[in-house]
Structure 1
Amino acid sequence: MTRVLITGFEPFCGESVNPSWQAASMVAAEPPAGLTVTAVQLPCVFGESVVALRRAVRESGPDLVVCVGQAGGRPGVTVERIAVNVDDARITDNAGAAPVDEPVVPGGPAAYFSTLPIKACVAAIREAGVPAAVSNTAGTFVCNHVAYGLAHLIATELPGVRGGFVHVPWAPEQVPDGTAAALPAATVAQGLRALLLAAAATAEDLRVTEGATH
């Protein structure tokens, strides 16, 4: 039985919900066959989010870690390829902090690639009927902060553990006028279940193009 830790974030920037947590909690409530899934909500706060992630990893002892965050405006579930060692906040986090050009981990590598089989994950999400793509930037806000923090933790302390970050669109209730892309949390959860199964079963990623020109 593969042990999975999935995380989502609390609401931020004045929102009342965060679809990343809505979907993550749904996955834990109805996990895919063969997986034991623990869901933990992270604070949308620089520093504290990685502390909470580290604690969750220690307590759950996962084989696989998938952190999920909201990327409003994206049309589908996007599996992140890379996390960069910089915090550069355009808005404040939930503690009022807005670091500019600060490292996530002082002295750490400039970036880490995800250790998830990202292309196999995207293919599985699409096969589940959910729009998906590879993303080449997780931004420089708390999502990237957690993505980098997770990757650094895996690289330095958790040999054998695989993990990465996934962004999900707004929920429909966040865009009631329908002017931006949105997916119901249940649909996102369906895609995340497919992703987890693919990540647990795939030793070597697919060699197919998912690149971008810009």
Structure 2
Amino acid sequence: MTRILLTAFEPYDRWKENSSWLALIDLTSWYDGDLELVTRRYPVDLAVMRERLQADLSQGFDTVIHLGQSPGASVVQLESTGLNTRSDGTALQVDGPVAYRSNCDLHTCHQRLGDAGIPSKISHHAGTFLCNATLYLSQHFSAMTGGRSQCLFVHLPLSPAQVAADGSALPSMSIPMQSAAIALIAQALQ
């Protein structure tokens, strides 16, 4: 049985909820497929996330799918590259390579989502904040322990309820569509 670690983040800044966690909770309420899904909610704190991530990756998952919300995104974004940089320009890992490219088949994931009517795109990198750090460090920790795990970061749009509560006109996507996207991605990577 394929073991998949699915992670999401807690709320941060002005967001009282995080669409990544909402989608992950929704997925676990209905998924009954043949994958073993293990879920984690990480804090929006680099040092604590790094420690928990390293401990989680030591459990030898086949695939690691990280989820994060991306206010302003209108589609599911499959992140292709984690950069060895923090938002202040310093390195995440002093002795690490400049970047890691996701070792997942993003094109197949993108195609499966499109076939299911879920809009998505392959993004060139996950920014320079915590989402990027999560993807980069996952690849780095995996490489340091033999490189067994496939690692992917997926940015999700806000939920309609988040946009309404914010009083903004930002793009959104329903939580059921987001959780269906996660299931399709996980199935594509097994």
Question: Normalising by the residue count of structure 1, what TM-score does the alignment of the two structures yield?
Answer: 0.83
- Asked whether 1:196 is paired with 2:186, we answer yes
Bigger share in helix:
2
Question: How far apart, in 2, do the equivalents of 1:167 and 1:19 lie?
Answer: 10
1:142 to 111, 130, 136: 130
Structure-2 residue corresponding to 1:106 = 94
> Following TM superposition, by how much is the alpha carbon of 1:25 offset from its aligned partner in structure 2, in angstroms?
2.5
TM-superposed deviation, 1:33: 1.9
Matched, 1:63 2:62: yes
Q: Tell me how far apart the structure 1 counterparts of residues 30 and 61 of structure 2 sit (CA, whole Å).
A: 18
Identify the residue that residue 167 of structure 1 maps to in structure 2.
155
Q: 1:9/1:158 Cα in 2 relative to 1: closer, same or farther (>3 Å)?
A: farther
> 2:24 aligns to what?
24
Change (3 A) 1:25 1:53: farther
Number of residue equivalences: 188
Summarize deviations over 1:116-175 as a string: whole Å, max 9, x none: 111111111122221111001211011101111101011111432211111001111221
Counterpart amino acid of residue 170 in structure 1: L
**How far apart, in 1, do the equivalents of 2:40 and 2:146 lie?**
19
User: For residue 105 of structure 2, what is the aligned residue in structure 1?
Assistant: 117
The answer to whether structure 1 residue 14 and structure 2 residue 14 are counterparts is yes
Extract unaligned runs of 5+ from structure 1: 89-99, 201-214
Aligned alpha-carbon RMSD (Å):
1.4
User: What is the Cα deviation at residue 54 of structure 1?
Assistant: 1.8
Q: Which residue does the alignment assign to 1:207?
A: none
Unaligned runs of 5+ in 2: none
Q: Which amino acid aligns with 2:157?
A: P
Whether 2:117 is the aligned partner of 1:129: answer: yes
What is the CA–CA distance in structure 2 between the aligned matches of 1:111 and 1:196, rounded to whole Å? Answer: 24
Contact 1:126 1:191 in 2 (8 A): no
Q: Percent identity, please.
A: 27
